Structure 1
Amino acid sequence: MMDLEEQERVEEEVDILFFEVGGQLYGTDASQVLRIDRSMPEDITVAELGLLKRGGRALVFSTSVGEGHLKVDEVHGVRPIPLVDLRRLPPAVIAAPFTIGACLDQTRLVLLIDLLETAKTQGRH
């Protein structure tokens, strides 16, 4: 059983699923991801994320009309990130509507995206 300090530390973290598209590393709240599947031709691709190299996997997530599937090149896994290491993008930054923030993963800046918003870019929500 966890003591109070350990429990508070866990509550101050969010699980981020790291994935790659076109050589660029991205992250998303792992709680949005229902599962990881093989990609299908009709799965969502988002040009703003980059040009897929393989696109052999899909992140599956819930939308208001069923499941959304975002094609990705690689899934790197899930790691807990402290809330203090997550940053919202400032309003002055011009970014796609699905980009919600950033975090530092070791030495790389990782853009964090909202999967539901990626489906809206395709008119699927």
Structure 2
Amino acid sequence: MIYDDQSPALNEVDVLFFEVGGVVYGTDAQQVLRIDRSHPDDLVVPGLGPLKRGGRALVFDSPEGESHLKVDGIRGVRPVPIMDLRRLPVVAGAAPYAVGVFLDQERPVMLIDLVETLNAQGRH
């Protein structure tokens, strides 16, 4: 099969959108193994904001095995053009898990790295 540079699969990344405390975030959907019910000992990242319910968890691979990030809800997964994603400059002073931003219909969505959320909490 021949792929050209204009192939949509090569120019897009699947972003999973989730909510914490009324704020929508995104992450590379390839990091997420599954979505599960949350448990009391699941990871909570205060820098994302206070949870309203925390009834769901994003399950992802980490150096210590499967890890769970507690979230309020899942908004869905959709392909996003790579050209619409922006890396955060180091001088922005953002948390290490905040890797970029996506302008979704004039509203910025912070993109986070799930494994880095563990490192930010001193877990790894």
Shorter chain as normaliser: what TM range?
over 0.9
Q: Provide the residue aligned with 1:46 in structure 2.
A: 45
Aligned pairs (5 A) from 1:34-113: 34-113=33-112
| Aligned-partner Cα distance in 2 for 1:80–1:67 | 25
User: Given the two structures, how large is their TM-score scaled by the length of structure 1?
Assistant: 0.93
What number of residue pairs does the alignment pair up? 124
Unaligned 5+ residue runs, structure 1? none
| Aligned-partner Cα distance in 2 for 1:116–1:87 | 19
Amino acid at match of 1:23: G
Unaligned 5+ residue runs, structure 2? none
Q: Which stretch shifts more, 100-109 or 110-119?
A: 100-109
Identity %: 62
RMSD between aligned residues: 1.7
User: Given the two structures, how large is their TM-score scaled by the length of structure 2?
Assistant: 0.93
SS at match of 2:93: coil
SS at match of 1:92: helix
Runs of 4+ in 1 over 6 A off after TM superposition: none
